[in-house]
Amino acid sequence: MNTTPLTVASPDGTARGGVIVIQEAFGVTDHIVDVCNRVAAAGWVAVAPHLFHRQDGVTVLDYSDMDSAMAAIGKLKADEVDSDVDAAASALAELGFEPSSIAIVGFCMGGSVAFQTAVRRPLGAAATFYGGGITKGRFGYPAMASVGDALQTPWHGFFGDLDEGIPFQEVETLREITATAPVDTEITRYAHGKHGFHCDDRPAVFDADAAADAWGKTLEWFDAHVAR
């Protein structure tokens, strides 16, 4: 039995499908809970698995505590993360949603996980916000560029050109590789976007225009690809 803690947000009325929301490096923060609520407001059931649950005393980290965040994500293992993602998918399956009726979106390290999930299993749609690991794998996953042609789920990536950890040249390499996948793929770059540009709880990096555009495009991607 999987004991992954899950944060769930449900819409009013009949849901159009389910969305797995994958956390930042700082945990299931207020921002990630807010994303879940936005997903629910758009008509979907949102489920966010807590990926740090195997680490004693680690739940939500402060944005200023990068050392603890790096230590926490350094302990993540791909197979354990996969089982947590699958626990969220199972929770949605119990609500009657087939894999084709489920989407996944992730932020920061969660963006990498969303991408790897889209390679690992066919879902309705996937979106990655500034997920690293394009040329060097993370958590035991292969480099994103090495498996981008094997995507099983339609995938849209969102990246900022001012992201110091993800050079735009790598993003363009990923664009070329994912374009050869057997599913729809798209990448949107924001010229003034920094790492974390979608997070309105981080004023130093938040970009309201890029955040609004990327979120709108994410919902459009889900609408276009997720089965009803």
Other C-beta atoms closer than 10 Å to the C-beta of 14 total 6
- Residue 149 carries which DSSP code? G
Just list the catalytic residues. Answer: 108, 163, 195
Looking up tokens 């894999």 gives 99
3-state secondary structure 42-75: CCCEEEEECCCCCCCCCCCCCCCCHHHHHHHHHC
Distance CA 50, CA 89 (A): 13
Looking up tokens 């276009």 gives 224
Please name which of 94, 91, 104, 215 lies closest in space to residue 152, comparing C-alpha atoms: 104
Please state, in angstroms and as integers, the Cα–Cα distance from residue 4 to each residue in 1, 36, 47, 91, following that order.
9, 17, 11, 11
